[in-house]
Structure 1
Amino acid sequence: MNFAEHFTPCDDIAMELAPYALGAVDDGSHDVSHLLRVWRNVQVISAQEGGDHRILAAATLLHDCVDISKDSPLRSSSSRMAAEKALGILSGLGWKKDTAGMVAHAIEAHSFSAGIEPKTLEAQILQDADRLDAIGYIGIARCFYVSGRLGRAIYDPHDPAASNRDLDDLTFAIDHFQTKLLRLSASFQTLTGSKLAAKRHETVQKFLRGLLLEVAADQNNI
């Protein structure tokens, strides 16, 4: 199965946008596998909630078309930059202005760090689909992958649970669970997304509890 066939019934859009979606992204947390997982999430949510599949497919394919490192000061602007780039791409391909604008809004609103309210159903679905990939087992894996790339420690050996210090996810990977991962499930937009998020939230909670018990077995600080 080629890349576009994964996006059936929107494989024609995938063929058209593949050159822009599959750029030189040196980040295993935002690679082809991530696109395919987000699209699967989109399909599951859309099957219950509705939404325009062509807008959703284009937004999924282009939502990470601008690659900004997690530790960059421009990170909170990455979704806006991706939306602007997507709008230019779609306009150049002859997409109608209103349709391209809906795709761009979904892309701009998907980001957690941007803090933009999704105003359309398609934007809500993309935001939920992308956030599902940040929690659960895959979210845990992605968290440690990114932290490793950025040279962050897994945890603070003196206070793993941050009981007597401020959380610092720029230094310790598991602090990111409390600063972001465990906050995500409360931010879902659709009923279907919320139900899926609740299950993945429990996975993250259970993992964090287990990890803290293991690393703090002889420290008595959790």
Structure 2
Amino acid sequence: MMDRTTYELIENYMLSWMKDSAHDKDHIYRVLYNALDIASGEEMVDYDVLVCACLLHDIGRQEQFEDPGLCHAEEGAKKAFNFLAANGFSEEFARKVSSCIRAHRYRSDSRPESIEAKILYDADKIDVTGAVGIARTIFYGGQLSEPLYTVSPDGVVSDGSEDKEPSFFQEYKYKLEGLYTKFYTARGTQIASERRDAAVSFYESMLKEVRDSYSTGSRIFKDLIDGQSEGQSNM
């Protein structure tokens, strides 16, 4: 069923919704290619369902961006079903694709059940691992005007583990750090583990750099201000 004409129909619909720079068309293609890599080691994979679900998995991003109370996986699942049904695909096919999309989000109560859904989940999460995952997380946080880190009242840069407010460090501790044990497929786990060191190294280096800046600079600043205040009091 997935001939060139069918692929381009689905691809063009996907392209019409890709407006988020961190979840752009290139993210979609990386997820698709990761999924095909994973699928090559699995059995009984419906490639038509998998390819379609990969292409359409983030078409609900715009709705979530406009209303953070919405879930892009839920919105995307509904939009995909309606699009496929309106373009002559069977209800069963549309339902399978929709189910994969609904279960691909990390922050969701829906868990992937079919092999296609598990592959999509893993392929999408691979794109949040390693150097690419760090870059995309910072990029997306910048779009939402989120800071890289937060500073406690006593002037210490938080590592993100106890933060309630969003920041890059908070997202790393909440999601990125523990993601590597959450994959469903052996190949997905392998790819992610190969990328892990790059993410850990970046986070630890950045945390050290900003903490060193605050620690050294704040000490010098305090001495400077205290010295100026003391000099004024002696005038």
Instruction: State the TM-score, normalized to the length of structure 2.
Output: 0.81
**In the superposition, relative to structure 1, how do residues 110 and 176 fare at CA in structure 2: closer, same or farther (>3 Å)?**
same
Instruction: Tell me if structure 2 keeps the 8 A contact 1:49–1:192.
Output: no
Kindly tell me the number of residue pairs found equivalent between the two proteins: 209
- The 1:41–1:18 alpha-carbon spacing in structure 2 relative to 1, beyond 3 Å, is same
1:166 aligns with 2:157: no
Task: State the match for 2:210 in structure 1.
Answer: 215
Note if contact 2:103-2:121 (Cα within 8 Å) is conserved in structure 1: yes
Task: State the alpha-carbon separation in 2 of the partners of residues 81 and 151 from structure 1.
Answer: 24
Q: 1:182 corresponds to which residue?
A: 177
Q: 1:21 aligns with which of 14, 29, 48?
A: 14
Kindly tell me: are residues 178 and 36 of structure 1, through their superposed partners in 2, closer, same or farther at Cα, counting changes over 3 Å? same
Aligned letter for 1:68?
E
How far the C-alpha of 1:92 sits from its partner, in A, is: 1.3
**Matches of 2:191 and 2:114 in 1, distance apart?**
20
Per the TM alignment, residue 15 of structure 1 is displaced from its structure 2 partner at its CA by 0.7
Maintained 8 Å contact 1:10/1:57: no
- Which shifted more, 89-98 or 135-144? 89-98
Structure number having the greater helix percentage: 2
The alignment's TM-score, normalised by the length of structure 1, stands at: 0.86
Partner of 1:6: none
Distance 1:10 1:53 in 2: 12
Matched residue, 1:197: 192
Task: Measure, in 1, the Cα distance between the counterparts of 2:22 and 2:4.
Answer: 23
Partner amino acid, structure 1, of 2:130: G
Unaligned runs of 5+ in 1: 1-8
Over the matched positions of the two proteins, sequence identity in percent amounts to 28
Residue number in structure 1 paired with 2:39: 46
* 2:79 maps to amino acid: K
Look up the equivalent residue of 1:205 and give its one-letter code: V
Gaps of 5+ in 2: 217-235
Q: CA RMSD in A?
A: 2.1
Greater shift in the superposed pair: 62-71 or 172-181:
62-71
Q: Look up the equivalent residue of 1:37 and give its one-letter code.
A: R
Contact map agreement 1:68 1:74 (CA 8 A) in 2: no
For the residue of structure 2 that corresponds to 1:188, the secondary structure is coil
Equivalent residues in 2 for 1:1-222 (5 A)? Answer: 11-50=4-43, 51-66=45-60, 67-69=62-64, 72-75=67-70, 77-157=71-151, 158-162=155-159, 166-170=162-166, 172-217=167-212, 219=215
Contact 2:63 2:75 (C-alpha < 8 Å) held by counterparts: no
Greater alpha carbon shift after TM alignment, 77-86 vs 148-157? 148-157
CA distance in 2, matches of 1:186, 1:71: 32
Bigger Cα Rg: 2
Distance 2:187 2:94 in 1: 26
Compared CA separation, residues 185 and 11, structure 1 to 2 (3 A): farther
Give the stretch that moved more between structures: 30-39 or 210-219.
Answer: 210-219
